[in-house]
Structure 1
């Protein structure tokens, strides 16, 4: 395997496979703007290389593929005019779109923690591989933010209201539920991932997506029981409402550990984030393309920099680490429609010249 090593991203090749390795293991491979740019450049180079048939992206270390964006850096940028945060989101979202429309098979090895921006690097790809160690989540409502990186396109297209449950609770799920939610395709043992990369690299340089898929499927294993699928009827019924208050009331009226635990958990999330997230999910459900959702998300990102819950959530999670955020407003009743409307202001300039007229469903 030939490699070109940088500080945060290692770009190389294994036979006919171009490889991208996120190289911030101590930070769970959380993304920085230089990393986003390095990945985008690698994908551009691999797309133009006739010797490369496919691309494999993975994370360094045993703990995670990618824990998301570097939220401490976003916090600091937001406190200082927000220019770096804006640049990060713009280029990250453009990268997510490029992955979804990549010209060659794109294989994401979602081994370990895969959250936020890590979902953006993987779930938009053509071949998504989870392992017995995968813990996937969009945990943003717990830090005063909302699921981004195109999650408002992906999650509404999960079965029933599975995506709504994932977005509002922010809870992590394992391999089986990631596959059930249409965020992954195959489960492979983590111990066999090096062999999988070698096998993909042994394919001919004009290997098709079907050939890559066959190699992955041949090494596949049963992911176990999908917990969310087992609760599917309940989730679909309780989370079908278009207001967070109605969802919370529905959970309160339902007996059993699952709905009551879910209700208690949602009560700890930012009320503003919960209402914004549900509005974005419902808008994403009716959208025609990933690009349309990413544009809407970017507009909300620029407004989130003016939202106190964003800073309070990150403070409680990663700055002071007291895990005790004081949300403002502190309850759902204090968040009216006008407060959420202000997040729906289009970013200027837009991310894309025009939206895709038709998008393949994930």
Structure 2
């Protein structure tokens, strides 16, 4: 029998209640989120939110390598390839469900602990950001790597990247920079650092805690296990002035050229330059516009705007080409519509922002 792609367990607590444990169970794909997984997770979290016996919820990934590596873009690719059979409708359904789940997590009424262990990228970072208690470990590797596939940082990233120190969110978004646990803490992407090996001990402590005040109980347990002194060395903050100087341009073409022209001998910066150089030129423009649009906006507004843009990305050629090159044919030689960021005309990017729905018919109008 095939195991479910999301598993659920209720760990008894000493007072007769329980801790709800939800596990993303697709380790072969690093727990990439399928539409089926999104629906299953949302339904159970809603049920647990209403269940008096459930004191808190723990969200984790199976396999030991990843919390969640992002959305199931391979399935999305096949839907786009069959656009004449309703591919755009599939994209609307997928992104609507994903963003609705993310928004729900941001407003979850009970303590929600996300164990952000291993790979946390794309849609996985969206899940982590929604949790009330965002835990990272010594194995955590976070990124918004959409520049490599011709999408853009979504799942609320237009909102949370714009709230990083000036210029850093833009740099992270256009380079797909890999961040460690210390970076996540420094940039407001995580709340706690707990060693990877302590997971079972933390869960056990949660079952033994006094949950008369669940939020207080969870906070006490996580605080007891926190070990920030053991976090890896920061990558972002020691380079903050340099990253801000690179990102301080009047337009995205200027910023990208500054990053690519940077000659500092630094392995982390070099990896980011390489990723940007091979990435989708249109994506850089989308990152720029979305961060500008949502610097002062609200979260629900961001998700509604992201939904329209994500569906438009599925209607354009870049996303399908990027997924093909990276994950289908795996030739790593995408044929982007334009050779570099400077050559992308504003009119082409304007096409991504053509409205698909009015305020009343938008699939996320009720957020």
TM-score (norm 2): 0.90
- CA spacing shift, 1:254–1:28, aligned 2, 3 Å: closer
Residue 359 (structure 1) aligns with = none
Q: In structure 2, what is the Cα distance between the partners aligned to 1:352 and 1:147?
A: 19
State the Cα distance separating 1:160 from its structure 2 match.
2.5
Residue 53 (structure 1) aligns with = 55
Q: Say if 1:252 and 1:260, in contact at 8 Å, map to a contact too.
A: no
Q: In structure 2, what is the Cα distance between the partners aligned to 1:159 and 1:211?
A: 32
Q: In structure 2, what is the Cα distance between the partners aligned to 1:203 and 1:49?
A: 19
Residue 365 (structure 2) aligns with = 353
Query: Tell me, what secondary structure is at the counterpart of 1:285?
Result: coil
- What number of residue pairs does the alignment pair up? 350
State the Cα distance separating 1:201 from its structure 2 match.
2.7
State the Cα distance separating 1:175 from its structure 2 match.
0.7
Residue 244 (structure 1) aligns with = 252
Residue 171 (structure 1) aligns with = 177
What are structure 1's unaligned runs of at least 5 residues? 356-362
Corresponding residue to 1:325 among 331, 334, 337: 334
Query: Tell me, what secondary structure is at the counterpart of 1:266?
Result: helix
Q: In structure 2, what is the Cα distance between the partners aligned to 1:200 and 1:159?
A: 34
**Offset from partner CA, 1:263-301 (integer Å, 9 cap, x none):** 4432211001111111111212131x1111111111111
Q: Say if 2:122 and 2:143, in contact at 8 Å, map to a contact too.
A: yes
Question: Which piece of structure 1 moves more, 138-147 or 332-341?
Answer: 332-341
**Offset from partner CA, 1:87-124 (integer Å, 9 cap, x none):** 11000000000000110111000110111111111112
Residue 269 (structure 1) aligns with = 279
Q: In structure 1, what is the Cα distance between the partners aligned to 2:158 and 2:325?
A: 25
Residue 154 (structure 2) aligns with = 148
Query: Tell me, what secondary structure is at the counterpart of 1:109?
Result: strand
- CA spacing shift, 1:261–1:115, aligned 2, 3 Å: closer
What are structure 2's unaligned runs of at least 5 residues? 13-17
State the Cα distance separating 1:256 from its structure 2 match.
1.4
Q: Are residue 218 (structure 1) and residue 224 (structure 2) matched? A: yes
Report matched runs for 1:40-189 at 5 Å.
Answer: 40-81=42-83, 82=87, 83-189=89-195
**Offset from partner CA, 1:3-37 (integer Å, 9 cap, x none):** xx961010111133111001111111111111000
Q: In structure 1, what is the Cα distance between the partners aligned to 2:23 and 2:261?
A: 47
User: RMSD of the alignment, in Å?
Assistant: 1.8
Q: In structure 2, what is the Cα distance between the partners aligned to 1:141 and 1:195?
A: 38
TM-score (norm 1): 0.92
- CA spacing shift, 1:178–1:78, aligned 2, 3 Å: same
- CA spacing shift, 1:205–1:46, aligned 2, 3 Å: farther
- CA spacing shift, 1:252–1:192, aligned 2, 3 Å: closer
Residue 360 (structure 1) aligns with = none
Q: Are residue 38 (structure 1) and residue 40 (structure 2) matched? A: yes
Q: Are residue 228 (structure 1) and residue 236 (structure 2) matched? A: yes
State the Cα distance separating 1:325 from its structure 2 match.
1.2
Q: Say if 2:135 and 2:191, in contact at 8 Å, map to a contact too.
A: yes
